[in-house]
């Protein structure tokens, strides 16, 4: 059965500008570092053949020895380009489409593997070709000549090299805004201005906050939560968030004028294991709550006190469903392996949001959505339709065409978490979190239900 993965991004350029780069396959390596080289045998047209070499020692070796030339199966200037690459016992088809939209173009990249070798080549080649694909789109936009307007927003992202930071940076860049990243180690491959910082003290990086026009600070800095809930790890989780936020607050106090926007990351896990409580923006926090959840998120939010910004928003984010994110990858892998049963008693709530909807909320919180105006303060980033764990796993099995699986007992998960060096509470606890603020503001989710989200995110 063919397996297809699709990524879509709005870019603030007309199709003709994007086609000037996209329509020349030889320029593919300029915007996608997963490709080493492309050689086209003749002018681009339907039926033209060529050779491409994927990056990576294993991929290069296999492809160089075994792959036949690819063929341009579709070539419609300013609209569509498709490549068909024969693989041993299968075919890879890569298709780009350009759809005009008000103010720009919707770019879609669709990668399909078919044949007996599809599962192998999807993992060996496909995962590399579409790794960090939104950053690749940002490179494409820059190569096609996209430059910010004089009145464009400057977004400074602390923790901008993390999974969500990269998504925001690419999305804002593709929409014509300026992006700067605060990072502990600069990555020369990223198409953004970068400032190195230690996440604890004010330094030369404060220059990133001094801009002539509108400036937004997006604070995502913090250690990943996927670790054992030891006292030491919890202290590190807390300090990585609190120390970096305090450093940013101190930097903002040195500015001649307030920042226009401050978007502070937080999490719906601040309510810990909320049981049947319906959590919204005004729901009180549990006392004392779980140390690795409430004990981390509450001081993280409190560290924002004193920030020099005109508008301050705290974004309590639920689980973001994204094919590149560890949460969905892990759940899908377990389900494909026949371990897609419910966890514990399966009644714990799973609040979630599709990545595209999360990005839309971020844009609205930064004043970039002309139709949705969000107030300051706490904002819950979650759909109106949380599901229970057993409903989540049933939906995954249905989407991935896997049979019923027995539940995983809580004791077994707790033991397994020791060997995987993770926190069993991530699977055994939950909360029903939705947003009254988004509803009142008229925000419309593009993917309101889990079925719609999984249909878009998991390879078909």
User: Quick one: which of 445, 330, 437 has its CA closest to 373?
Assistant: 437
CB 250 within 8 A of CB 205: no
Output the average pLDDT for the chain: 94
What is the model's pLDDT at position 126? 83
pLDDT bin (cut points 50, 70, 90) of residue 127 is confident
Region 192-212 average pLDDT = 96
**Rounded to the nearest 5 degrees, what angle is found at the Cα of 287, between the Cα atoms of 285 and 293?**
65
Q: Report the pLDDT averaged over residues 188-196.
A: 95
Q: What is the mean pLDDT of residues 101-109?
A: 97
* pLDDT score at 32: 96
Query: Is 317:357 a contact under the CB 8 Å cutoff?
Result: no
Widest Cα–Cα separation across the chain: 69
Structure tokens, 314: 């705290």
Instruction: Tell me what pLDDT residue 415 has.
Output: 86
**Dihedral sign, Cα of residue 314, residue 318, residue 321, residue 326:** positive
Q: What is the pLDDT of residues 240-251, one digit of tens each?
A: 999 999 999 999
The pLDDT of residue 116 is above 70:
yes
Over residues 145-151, mean pLDDT: 94
Beta bridge partners of 98: 107
Question: Rounded to an integer, what distance in angstroms lies between the CA atom of residue 372 and that of residue 246?
Answer: 30
Instruction: Give pLDDT tens digits for 251-308.
Output: 999 999 999 999 999 999 999 999 999 999 999 999 999 999 999 999 999 999 999 9
CA 131 – CA 33 distance, rounded (Å): 10
Q: What pLDDT sits at residue 329?
A: 84
The answer on pLDDT for 1 being more than 60 is no
- Name the one residue in this structure whose structure tokens are 């974004």: 315
List the alpha helices (DSSP H) in 273-404: 294-302, 326-336, 355-365, 389-399
Higher-confidence position of 132 and 62: 132
Q: What is the mean pLDDT of residues 412-422?
A: 84
> Does 324 have pLDDT greater than 90?
no
Q: Which of 73, 100, 72, 98 is nearest to 19 (CA)?
A: 98
Please work out, in degrees rounded to the nearest 5, the angle formed at the alpha carbon of residue 244 by the alpha carbons of 216 and 286.
Answer: 95
Pairing of strands 377-381, 309-317: parallel
Q: Which DSSP string corresponds to 183-230?
A: ESS--TTSSSEEEE--SSS--GGGGGG--SS-EEEEE-----S-S---
Would you call 97 helix, strand, or coil by DSSP?
strand
Closest CA to 353 of 251, 452, 273, 242: 452
Grade residue 460 by pLDDT with cuts at 50, 70 and 90: low
d(CA 178, CA 152): 7
Task: With beta carbons less than 8 A apart as the criterion, state whether 433 and 316 touch.
Answer: yes
Q: How far is CA 368 from CA 75, 113, 361, 446, in A?
A: 35, 37, 10, 17
Query: How far apart, in Å, are the Cα atoms of 295 and each of 147, 237, 292, 298?
Result: 43, 10, 6, 6
Give the pLDDT of residue 3: 67
């Amino acid at each position: 059965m063919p397996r297809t993965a699709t990524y879509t991004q709005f870019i603030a350029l007309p199709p003709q500008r994007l086609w000037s780069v996209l329509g020349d396959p030889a320029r593919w390596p300029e915007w996608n570092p997963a490709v080493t080289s492309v050689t086209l045998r003749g002018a681009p047209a339907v039926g033209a053949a060529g050779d491409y070499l994927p990056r990576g020692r294993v991929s290069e070796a296999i492809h160089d020895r075994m792959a036949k030339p690819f063929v341009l199966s579709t070539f419609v200037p300013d609209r569509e380009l498709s490549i068909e690459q024969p693989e041993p016992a299968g075919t890879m088809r890569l298709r780009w489409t350009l759809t005009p939209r008000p103010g720009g173009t919707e770019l879609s990249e669709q990668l399909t593997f078919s044949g007996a070798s599809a599962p192998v080549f999807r993992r060996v080649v496909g995962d590399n070709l579409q790794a960090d694909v939104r950053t690749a789109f940002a490179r494409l936009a820059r190569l096609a000549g996209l430059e910010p307007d004089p009145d464009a927003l400057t977004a400074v992202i602390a923790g901008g090299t993390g999974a969500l930071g990269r998504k925001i940076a690419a999305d804002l860049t593709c929409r014509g805004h300026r992006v700067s990243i605060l990072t502990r180690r600069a990555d020369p491959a990223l198409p953004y201005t970068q400032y190195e910082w230690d996440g604890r003290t004010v330094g030369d990086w404060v220059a990133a906050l001094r801009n002539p026009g509108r400036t937004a600070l997006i604070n995502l800095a913090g250690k990943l939560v996927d670790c054992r809930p030891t006292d030491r790890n919890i202290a590190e989780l807390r300090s990585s968030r609190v120390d970096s936020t305090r450093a940013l607050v101190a930097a903002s106090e040195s500015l001649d004028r307030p920042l226009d926007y401050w978007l502070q990351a937080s999490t719906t896990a601040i309510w810990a294991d909320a049981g049947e409580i319906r959590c919204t923006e005004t729901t009180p926090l549990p006392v004392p709550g779980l140390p690795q959840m409430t004990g981390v998120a509450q001081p993280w939010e409190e560290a924002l006190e004193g920030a020099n910004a005109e508008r301050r928003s705290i974004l309590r984010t639920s689980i973001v469903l994204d094919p590149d994110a560890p949460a969905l990858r892990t759940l899908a892998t377990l389900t494909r392996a026949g371990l897609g049963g419910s966890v514990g008693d399966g009644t714990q709530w799973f609040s979630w949001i599709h990545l595209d909807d999360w990005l839309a909320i971020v844009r609205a919180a930064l004043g970039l959505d002309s139709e949705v105006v969000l107030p300051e303060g706490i904002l819950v980033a979650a759909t109106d339709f949380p599901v229970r764990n057993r409903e989540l796993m049933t939906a995954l099995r249905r989407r991935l065409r896997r049979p019923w699986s027995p539940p995983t007992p809580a004791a077994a998960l707790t033991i397994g978490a020791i060997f995987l060096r993770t926190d069993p509470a991530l699977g055994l606890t939950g909360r029903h979190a939705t947003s009254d603020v988004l509803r009142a503001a008229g925000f419309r989710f593009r993917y309101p239900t889990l079925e719609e989200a999984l249909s878009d995110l998991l390879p078909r």
